[in-house]
A and B are shown apart, each in its own frame.
Chain A
Amino acid sequence: MDYERSERSAGSLTLPTAIKILVAGGFGVGKTTLVGAVSETRPLRTEEVLTESGVGIDDLSGVEGKNTTTVAMDFGRITISDDLVLYLFGTPGQDRFWFVWDELALGALGAVVLADTRRLADCFPSIDYFEGRGTPFVVAVNCFEGSRRYKLDEVQAALNLDPDVPVLLCDARQRQSGKEVLITLLEHAMKAREARRSG
């Protein structure tokens, strides 16, 4: 078989670069819904197999006899241009798997913390995590029917957020709304970088 023919000329092969944003929040708050609403395909799912001890991800050597756990992550893709692809990752369950969060958060542009005002405390661990890491984040209040409308500054106060952290309402099912959340996050992340540089 003639490989030369099927091989692309290396020079013309421009490889795009990827970036990511995380979508976090409590159980059932709409993370996967938001990822799906703004992504170009339905949310995809990927799994990491972990040994029970939680020592390194992927280390399956000598795995026989050990219990393994599977951590699933939902994610979606938005192709920004030929050079740039944005991935959105829904974070897996909040109370375990922090080391998976560490892998996901590494190099993320920022995070969206989804909140449900009926269960506001559910997003505390996510907020604590991103504050602790210094990852820029916004809080998006997903407006489920039947949830009392809080004023955004009430939510801000209840969450004890730094006043710079944007808090906004959203409908995780709506693409337009999801886009606005992401744009707010990116603008906030840029400002946070600026502040860090000059401060």
Chain B
Amino acid sequence: MTVSGESAEERWVDDHAGPVVRPYAVTRGRARPVAGKFDLISLVTATRTEPGPEMGLGPEHLAIVGLCQRALSVAEVAAHLDLPVGTIRVLLGDLVARDMVRVREPYAVHGLPDDSVFEAVINGLRAL
């Protein structure tokens, strides 16, 4: 089983491909995630410690599950895997579709947080 459901022979692997080849290859040519909208600071947490080999996932998917044993933002995942954010969003979509990660959207999505959040941040910073 392939992640995208496309044939294994991917057309886009050609000699003329530009600098986006590697990220593009990792997502098997897909530009959009199958599930979810991922803000840069959406927090991703793995739902299990170890995906099985039969899940049909690439090494980058498995690396994300490994990294997200504690909650990491989409931006952090991208930085750690050294892949563009767009690529990470596609991979996360695959993982969400398999319920292998949970994603918590930032406050931004639902409007700004209330004063208690501001106060918590101020107190947290003071305590640093």
Contact = CB atoms under 8 A, between A and B. Distances in A.
**Do A and B assemble together?**
yes
Interface string B97-122: 00000101011110011010111111
A19 B41 contact: yes
12 contacts: A1-B50, A15-B102, A19-B108, A58-B31, A58-B89, A60-B20, A70-B84, A80-B121, A107-B39, A109-B113, A183-B126, A193-B112
Which of A46, A63, A103, A189 is packed against the most chain B CB atoms within 10 Å? Answer: A46
A20 B106 contact: yes
Nearest to A51: B20
Contact of B86 (A49, A106, A179): A49
B120 A84 contact: yes
Interface in A80-110: 80-81, 84-87, 89, 103-104, 106-109
B121 A46 contact: no
A120 interface: no
B117 A19 contact: yes
Contact of A63 (B24, B39, B78, B121): B24
B45 A190 contact: no
Interface residues of B, number: 51
A183 B43 CA distance: 23
Interface string B34-52: 0000011111010111101
A40 B108 CA distance: 23
Which of B12, B40, B45, B50 is packed against the most chain A CB atoms within 10 Å? Answer: B40
A10 interface: yes
A40 B11 CA distance: 43
B117 A84 contact: yes
A136 B49 CA distance: 41
